[in-house]
């Protein structure tokens, strides 16, 4: 019987062909979705910290200004994490005995730093400068999100190059008055675009997209 294939073979063969062709597409799309996913950018993941420090409480609750702790944000490329001393300014009185704060006191006694886990981390070949962004009226919130609503801090934005360029190409969409920089939950005016353009001229904001602006 020289008929080597059952009639059904035709259908199966075709199915297999189309399936394999299709699977390639599917895999490609999946990969693409993954690299853009919060998983890849480690977005929205509250990070474990040695001390369960709550921005929600300190910023939202007590309304402490960002710059009280992150002192160098206006002057330096780097927005520093507060030294233990700054914590102790208050916590030598408040909650002076609370066990959760023991690591702070321990650090202050021993002089060994508290090991915080980094939340917003750019690749090491990217050079970001806080002072200039703050100076040009880019709100903390724009990149760090509603910190005042974060019991444990997480990364609010993807921090991908695409995301950076988004703003660098159209600063007018995101710029806000300097005095509003540290405001949380700032409401952009309905005519943000023209306001933005006005601020751009006022603050001499250029759209910087040259590679060496961030990569050196």
Partner 1 sequence: MNETVQPGFVPIEALTGPRGREYWRSLDDRDAAYTPEENEQFSEEGVAVSEASRRRFLSLMAGSLALAGVTGCTRQPTETILPYVDPPENVIPGKPKYYATAAPVNGVAEGVIVESHLGRPTKVEGNPDHPANLGATSVHSQACLMDLYDPDRSREILKLGVPQTWDAFQIAWEHAIGPLAARNGAGFRILTETIVSPTLGAQIQALLKKYPGAQWHQYDPAGSHSARAASMAAFGKSINTYYNFATADIVLSLDADFLACGRASTRYAHDFAARRRQGDRLDMNRLYVVESTMTATGGKADHRLGLPYSQIEAFAAELASQLSIPGGASGSQYGFWTTRVARDLQAHKGASVVITGEHQSPAVHAYVHAINETLGNVGKTVIYTAPLEEQPVDQIASLRQLVDDMKAGRVEVLLILGGNPVYNAPVDFQFADALNHVKTSIHTGLHFNETALKTTWHLPETHFLEDWGDARAFDGTVSITQPLIAPLYDGSHSQLQLLDALIAFPGRTPYEIVRSYWGANSGAGNFEQWWRKSVHDGMIANSALPAITLAVAKNVVRTAAAAAPNDSSMEISFRPDVYMYDGRFANNMWLQELPHPMTKLTWDNAIYLSPNTAAHLGFENQQHVELQLHGRTVWGSVWILPGQPDSTATVELGWGRWHSGRAGNGAGFNAYAVRTSDALWSANGVQFRKLANPYPLASTQMQQYMEGRQVIIENTVDYYKRNPGFVPKAEHEPEENLTLYPHWDYRGYAWSMNIDLTACVNCQACVVACQAENNIAVVGKEQVLARRAMHWLRIDTYYKGVPGNPTAHYAPIPCMQCENAPCELVCPVQATNHSKDGLNDMIYNRCVGTRYCSNNCPWKVRRFNFLLFQDWTTETWKMQRNPDVSVRSRGVMEKCTYCVQRIREAEITSQDENRFIRDGEVKTACQQACPTQAIVFGDKNNPNNRVSKLKAEKLNYHMFAELNTRPRTSYLAELRNPNPEFEPGAAS
Partner 2 sequence: MMAPVEERQRHAARELDPNNPLPVVAPSTTFETVSEQISSIVLTRKTPLFWWCCFGFGIFLLIWFAIAVTYLLGKGVGIWGIEIPNGWGFAITNFVWWIGIGHAGTLISAILLLLNQSWRNSINRFAEAMTIFAVMCAGLFPLLHLGRSWIFYWVFPYPNTMTVQPNFRSPLVWDVFAVSTYFTISVLFWYLGMIPDLAMFRDRAVERWKKAIYGIMCFGWRGASHEWKWHQSASLLLAGLATPLVLSVHTVVSFDFTIAILPGWHSTIFPPYFVAGAIYSGFAMVVVLAIPLRSVYGLHNLLTVRHLNNCGKLMLATGLVLAYTYCIEPFTAWYSGNEFEMAVVRNRAFGPQAWSFWGVILLNVIIPQGLWFYKVRVKPQPLFFMGCVVLVGMWLERYMIIVTSLGRDFLPSSWATFVATFWDNATLYGSVGLFITLFMLFVRFLPMVPVAEVRELLPFSKPGGGTEK
Partner 3 sequence: MSDASTYGMVAEFDDPTKLVEAAREMRKLGYRKMEAYSPYPIKDLHEIIPVINWVPAICFLGGLSGSIIAWSMEYYIAAIDYPINVGGRPLYSWPSFIPILFELTVLLAGCSAFFAVLGLSGFPRVHFPLFNLPQFADATSSRMFLCIEKTDPIYDSDLTAKFMRELEPVGVWEVSDE
On whether the CB atoms of residues 131 and 77 are closer than 8 A, the answer is yes
7 binds, among partner 2, partner 1, partner 3, none (CB under 5 to 8 A by kind): partner 3
Options 9-17, 30-38, 57-65, 92-100: segment touching partner 3 (CB under 8 A): 9-17
Cα angle: 182, vertex 186, 188; to 5 degrees? 130
Beta-carbon contacts of 174 under 8 Å, excluding residues fewer than 6 positions away, are 138, 139, 142, 167, 196
DSSP code of residue 168: H
On whether the CB atoms of residues 196 and 167 are closer than 8 A, the answer is no
31 binds, among partner 1, partner 3, partner 2, none (CB under 5 to 8 A by kind): partner 1
131 binds, among partner 2, partner 1, partner 3, none (CB under 5 to 8 A by kind): partner 1
Work out which of 42, 51, 101, 165 binds partner 2, going by CB under 8 A: 165
On whether the CB atoms of residues 44 and 154 are closer than 8 A, the answer is yes
Size of the site for partner 1 (CB under 8 A): 51
Question: Is residue 4 near partner 2 by the rule CB under 8 A?
Answer: yes
What SS3 state is found at 196? helix
Question: To the nearest whole angstrom, how small is the minimum distance from the Cβ of residue 213 to partner 3?
Answer: 13
Provide the token pair at 97.
Answer: 């005995």
Residues numbered 184-213 forming contacts with partner 3, rule: CB under 8 A? 209
- Residue numbers of the site for partner 2 (CB under 8 A)? 2, 4-5, 10, 13, 32, 35-36, 158, 160-163, 165
């Amino acid at each position: 019987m020289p008929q080597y294939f059952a009639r059904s073979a035709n259908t199966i063969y075709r199915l297999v062909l189309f399936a394999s062709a299709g699977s390639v597409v599917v895999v490609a799309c999946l990969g693409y979705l993954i690299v853009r996913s919060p998983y890849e950018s480690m977005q929205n993941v509250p990070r474990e910290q040695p001390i369960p420090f709550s921005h929600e409480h300190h910023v939202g609750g007590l309304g402490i200004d960002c710059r009280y702790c992150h002192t160098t944000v206006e002057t330096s490329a780097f927005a520093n994490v507060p030294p233990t001393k700054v914590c102790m300014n208050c916590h030598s009185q408040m909650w002076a005995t609370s066990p959760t704060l023991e690591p702070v006191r321990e650090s202050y006694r021993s002089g060994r730093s508290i090991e915080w886990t980094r939340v917003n981390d750019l690749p090491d070949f990217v050079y970001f400068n806080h002072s200039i962004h703050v100076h040009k009226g880019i709100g903390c919130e724009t990149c760090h999100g509603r910190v005042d609503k974060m019991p444990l801090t997480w990364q609010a934005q993807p921090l991908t190059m695409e995301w950076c360029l988004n703003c660098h190409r159209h600063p007018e969409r995101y710029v806000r008055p300097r005095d509003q920089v540290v405001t949380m939950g700032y409401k952009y005016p309905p005519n943000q675009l023209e306001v933005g353009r006005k601020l751009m001229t006022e603050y001499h904001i250029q759209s910087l997209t040259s590679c060496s602006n961030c990569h050196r």
